[in-house]
Structure 1
């Protein structure tokens, strides 16, 4: 059972109810898959984890390093809000790496002020969706040559609150509160992951999306002080740590149970669940994916 904490946090008077709700839901949460018990050997594998400097991404990267006993770790700058940065990053990867087995699109942000990037894109949609979309597209051939390979997109249960309006990509018709923009971008994550999986059938490359849980990370750093304080107050008692929040991502990236599984959505306890109805519309997925291709190809 998951919950959309963002709706409650925008009303401070609901703080006490939030505490009670968090306590109830945490008490109902079953124990997730344990990556420490996973026998998968990553030695000789190449993986990319975006947003690995902090939070969930950091612990995903640390787990991969431990599983592979690999000291050959590279830190490369990448700003997913900038398509130029994405292209520069992938050029370096393609120049220096001969294979790629795991791509984890984890980097993202919530609460960004509305603005248009130099590419003419709304910054939340560029950061959370179009940047990672382009990154994946540019690395697809390398992933195919390295198959079996996996693409893991960190989405959110908040995608259930998202809507699809393609004018949002350009920053138009955004009348919702700032946090809703995050919900919209996460919905596009799930939609395009499903379409990508369909297109990759038979290549040996899988693509899945997931909800990591309500996690104590820096995701709230762009919000006001009151919201950040409430998030911290509740989170220190009831939310997952960043290390716990990394579990579902690691599961999708390396577990034997997910071998060959593609086009699916997993919850924070590593269970296979249905995403929102909009994310299950194949015609919408084709339209969204093709638009993202056009937007990123022109820039």
Structure 2
């Protein structure tokens, strides 16, 4: 654990230096998305909003799901100001509520004939020891279980696309993550904000890996997880108030802009060469092959899948058994 913490610190410093020196890659794909349907969770702010804008500029119909419908409507207005031709709508989605996720998926199924790209972008980071509407630890319940249920609930729509992609926005925080199968909600004093966050981000990667395995290599759906970079977003709103000014003023100028922070998500959504890859992890617009062992543990990935199915009470026909 200490080694992975030290590596995380070192890698974070390396990332900040790359940001400062302008060495970050950009998505170079010219792929158009005319007549394609894209669903983005958390598309009302940060890199989700920037991703939504960029995909509308490529001709996609974009649906953003967010908890605060008013903020979502404002985001749609902002995007339409930048792209008058944008085909974009907002729907209410609270990933910390399984009933909200099911309602969102049901409405999509009623209104759309297919989904070509699903971007599981929304998340909560380093929050206090909160619980979701269904009693799960907030970060695991929102970042993983909400997206797990959403993805499998719209699987039929993804299958109707000629080539569909599922993109899970994770984080390098997975380095220090551990899936606590015996205490998944980190109760009885086991919780800390970073432990909860890193567990949820590791879960994103293991979910991607197991989803790809269950779909199989000949399926028309491919899955990707990614680290977007160290970015100036609202995600760190729960970082202690005393620390925020230090981070903002000492490291702020070394953090990625929202526009740069969206590049790896765009790469996973648009890069044609990824048609032949699935279940893998990306950072700075390229595939990362040397992962920590916790992120390549297929036994844990399968065990997490089965646990997640049970926790969200997934219908048998959606389990991809």
| Structural mapping, 1:184-223, within 5 Å | 184-201=199-216, 202-223=218-239
Change (3 A) 1:42 1:84: same
* Counterpart selection for 1:41 from 11, 24, 32: 32
Partner of 1:290: 306
Change (3 A) 1:44 1:18: closer
Q: Distance in 1 between matches of 2:248 and 2:179?
A: 31
Provide TM-score, normalisation by structure 2.
Answer: 0.82
* Counterpart selection for 2:110 from 91, 95, 99: 95
Partner of 1:160: 175
Q: Distance in 1 between matches of 2:288 and 2:11?
A: 26
Equivalent residue pairs, number: 287
SS in 2 for 1:103: strand
Q: Could you tell me how far 1:257 is from its partner in structure 2?
A: 2.2
Deviations 1:40-74 (A, max 9, x none): 01000000011111001001100100011653211
Q: Distance in 2 between matches of 1:21 and 1:290?
A: 36
Q: Could you tell me how far 1:4 is from its partner in structure 2?
A: 7.2
Q: Distance in 1 between matches of 2:172 and 2:190?
A: 21
Is the counterpart of residue 58 in structure 1 residue 74 in structure 2? no
Deviations 1:131-160 (A, max 9, x none): 011000101111012131000000001101
Check whether the contact 1:99–1:142 (CA below 8 A) recurs between aligned residues.
Answer: yes
Is the counterpart of residue 32 in structure 1 residue 48 in structure 2? no
SS in 2 for 1:40: coil
Is the counterpart of residue 183 in structure 1 residue 198 in structure 2? yes
Q: Distance in 2 between matches of 1:59 and 1:183?
A: 24
Partner of 2:126: 111
| Structural mapping, 1:141-160, within 5 Å | 141-160=156-175
Q: Distance in 2 between matches of 1:190 and 1:197?
A: 11
Q: Could you tell me how far 1:229 is from its partner in structure 2?
A: 1.4
Is there any run of 5+ residues in structure 2 with no aligned partner, and where? 62-85, 316-321
Provide TM-score, normalisation by structure 1.
Answer: 0.88
Q: Could you tell me how far 1:297 is from its partner in structure 2?
A: 1.4
Is there any run of 5+ residues in structure 1 with no aligned partner, and where? 9-16
Q: What value does the CA root-mean-square deviation take over the aligned residues? A: 2.6
Change (3 A) 1:139 1:25: same
Q: Could you tell me how far 1:6 is from its partner in structure 2?
A: 12
Q: Could you tell me how far 1:234 is from its partner in structure 2?
A: 3.3
Q: Could you tell me how far 1:255 is from its partner in structure 2?
A: 1.1
Is the counterpart of residue 77 in structure 1 residue 92 in structure 2? yes
Check whether the contact 1:30–1:269 (CA below 8 A) recurs between aligned residues.
Answer: no
Q: Distance in 2 between matches of 1:278 and 1:23?
A: 24
Partner of 1:12: none
Q: Distance in 2 between matches of 1:279 and 1:213?
A: 18
Q: Could you tell me how far 1:264 is from its partner in structure 2?
A: 0.5
Q: Distance in 2 between matches of 1:141 and 1:19?
A: 39
Change (3 A) 1:264 1:175: same
Check whether the contact 2:206–2:295 (CA below 8 A) recurs between aligned residues.
Answer: yes
Check whether the contact 1:99–1:143 (CA below 8 A) recurs between aligned residues.
Answer: yes
